[in-house]
Each structure stands twice: as C-alpha cells, then as structure tokens.
Amino acid sequence: MVRTVLKPRWLGLLVVVALVIVAFVQLGRWQLGVARDKAAAQAIQEVTSLPPVGIDTLLGPQQPFPGTASSRAVLATGRYAATGQVLVPDRLLRGRTGYWVITPFVVESSDATLAVLRGFVTSPTGIPAPPTGRITLDGGLAPGESPSTMALPPGQMGSVDLSLLVNTWPGRIYNAFVFLQKETPATGSDPAAVGSLNALTHVPTPVTDTGLKWRNLGYALQWWIFAGFAAYMWWRMVRDDSVADDDAAVPVAAGAAPAPGTPERGGE
C-alpha cells in the first residue's frame, strides 16, 4: 500500500485532491459565515421591526424573564431613584474600556424598580446625575447577567447581577434591565423641570443568540461532505491500484491464473 501511494501519479493526484479539499472546506466555512450573518440580520430585522411596548405587557416585577422579550424595545414611565446607582467596570464600547452606569428606575404603573443601563462612561467619577423629574424611557430589554466573583470597591459590581440588586434596592424589582436608548419627559410633566436628559453615551441593545440560517448551514455541510468524498475517491483509487499490484506480483507460472470473469476478490 505504501509503495503504491509513493507512485508519482498518486502523489500528484494527492496534491490535486488536497487542493480540492482545502477549497471545499473554505467554501463550507464561507457558507457557515453566511448562515450566521443571515440569521443575525434576520433576528435584528425582526426585533427592530417590533414597535416599543410598555414593559408591563412583557413582564411584571419578580416574574421570570420570558425568552421572547430579549432585545425587545420597551417603554417605561416613572422616576429614577435618588440613590442606589452602581457601576459595572471592564465594559467595552467602540474600542474603549469603561463602566456601565446602572441606575434604579421606579416604574409608575407597578411601583417596582427597574435596572436601567443609562450609559457608558470612561471614568468612575463625575458621572452626570439622572433626570429628577417624571420621564418616559425607551430602551432594549435584556435578562440579568450571571453573578461575578470580582472583588470591587463599594458602588461597583462585576456584572449586572439582579440577585445582588434585589438585596440593595428597596421594594420589588424586575428580572430584567434596560439598555437605555432615549429619555423623554413623560406626558404631562414640565420638560424644563425634569433635569438633563440623555446625558450619557447610550449602549446599543445587543441581539444575542441568533443561531444559524439552516439553508446555508446545509450548503456548508454539503461542501464538507464533498471534501470528504474527494479524499475517499483518492484513497479508493490507490487501494484498487495496490490490490492490482499485489495480484501482478503473484507468479502466473504457478498455474493459479484465474479464468477470465471469475470473481477473484468477491463483491466490493
């Protein structure tokens, strides 16, 4: 077998087959990327095409976070609490490292607290105060993050861990936080009296876990199967040639030459 593989024609064919396999594997990876991009684009399109709804239509305080509510645009009317703001360090926004500013917001309709990611800052000091008046905020809903074990100074936490906030903030809280996109004075409140709005750089709502477009995933799989098939073809041709070499090596003078048409090696 090894001697057969080393024949120039099989080595030459091996080079060709290797090139074909590399090309097919790359084509498969390209389709896998397309599958990912198309699914992400579709998910973003689906989520952003939905109009914002009042938060209480998606979930109430202390209720489990419904998976379908992820990244949905929500509206909530109420006031920021005067105390309880926390910072989450080591966050990235457009290549810069900084802090997420998480401020408690008391939703008027439920009197429960909602964690609002007001924005991104690069320094933990000198953060603009939230608006003091009655406002309506518009943002993307997200479930709380996993707990973090990072040791941090007071007023900071390693992740948006709602189980920590429920112990520090008074009253009931929502099992969610909001990526704030816009603050507006609530209907009926005096725009001049609510305080400065949208003072921080907003963090765009992420669209998570978008999966794959199955059709392009199928194309990717097909390229990889074709690549495997090319390898099989090469191996099979070399094996047949190797068997033929072994047959030729058997001395014909022994009188054991098979009659034409006799199955020598049985069925394949």
Partner 1 sequence: MSTVAKTEKPIQNPDSAATALTFFKVMAVIVGIGLLLLTVEVVLHFTVGPDNALSWWPQPHGFIYFVYLIATANLGFKVGWSLPKMVLIMLAGCVPFLSFVVEHYVAREIDGRLAAARQ
41 binds partner 1, rule: CB under 8 A:
no
Q: Does residue 190 bind partner 1 (CB under 8 A)?
A: no
150: left (phi over 0), alpha (psi -120 to 50) or beta: beta
Single out the residue of 191, 179, 198, 204 nearest to residue 128, CA to CA.
198
Selected from 209, 240, 245, 246, the binder of partner 1 by CB under 8 A is 240
Rg (alpha carbons) of the chain, rounded to whole number:
32
**Shortest Cβ 48–partner 1 spacing (Å):** 20
Of these, 4, 184, 222, 242, which contacts partner 1 (CB under 8 A)? 222
Residue 85 phi/psi, 5-degree rounding, is: -70, 135
Q: What is the rounded distance in angstroms from the CA atom of residue 11 to the CA atom of residue 55? A: 67
For residue 89, what is the DSSP state? E
Token pair 């309880």 is found at 84
Q: Output the smallest distance, CB 61 to partner 1, in A.
A: 42
The smaller minimum CB distance to partner 1, of residues 54 and 218, is found at: 218
Helices (H), the chain: 2-5, 8-49, 55-58, 162-168, 214-249
Work out which of 4, 5, 7, 13 binds partner 1, going by CB under 8 A: 13
Under rule CB under 8 A, residue 265 binds partner 1: yes
Q: Are strands 113-121 and 96-107 parallel, antiparallel or unpaired?
A: antiparallel
Give CA–CA dist 136/121, Å, rounded: 22
| 74 alpha carbon, distance to own chain's centre | 22
Segment interacting with partner 1, rule: CB under 8 A, options 22-30, 180-188, 189-197, 256-264: 256-264
Residues touching partner 1, count (CB under 8 A): 21
CA 251 to centroid of chain Cα atoms = 65
Of 90 and 219, the one with the shorter C-beta distance to partner 1 is: 219
Could you tell me the two tokens for 210?
């978008």
Q: Is 8 in the site for partner 1 (CB under 8 A)?
A: no
**In sequence order, which residues have a C-beta less than 8 Å from that of residue 129 and are 6 or more positions away?**
195, 196, 199
**Closer residue to partner 1, CB minimum distance, 94 or 265:** 265
236 binds partner 1 per the rule CB under 8 A: yes
* 226 touching partner 1, by CB under 8 A: yes
Select from 193, 233, 250, 257 the one that contacts partner 1 (CB under 8 A): 233
Pick one of 225, 245, 246, 257: the residue that binds partner 1 (CB under 8 A).
Answer: 225
Taking CB under 8 A as the rule, does residue 229 contact partner 1? Answer: yes
Which of 156, 219, 231, 242 forms a contact with partner 1 (CB under 8 A)? 219
29 belongs to the binding site for partner 1 (CB under 8 A): no
Could you count the other beta carbons within 10 Å of the beta carbon of residue 226?
Answer: 16
Closest approach of partner 1 to the CB of residue 22, in Å: 18
**Residues of this chain that bind partner 1 (CB under 8 A):** 13, 215, 218-219, 222, 225-226, 229, 232-233, 236-237, 240, 260-261, 263-268
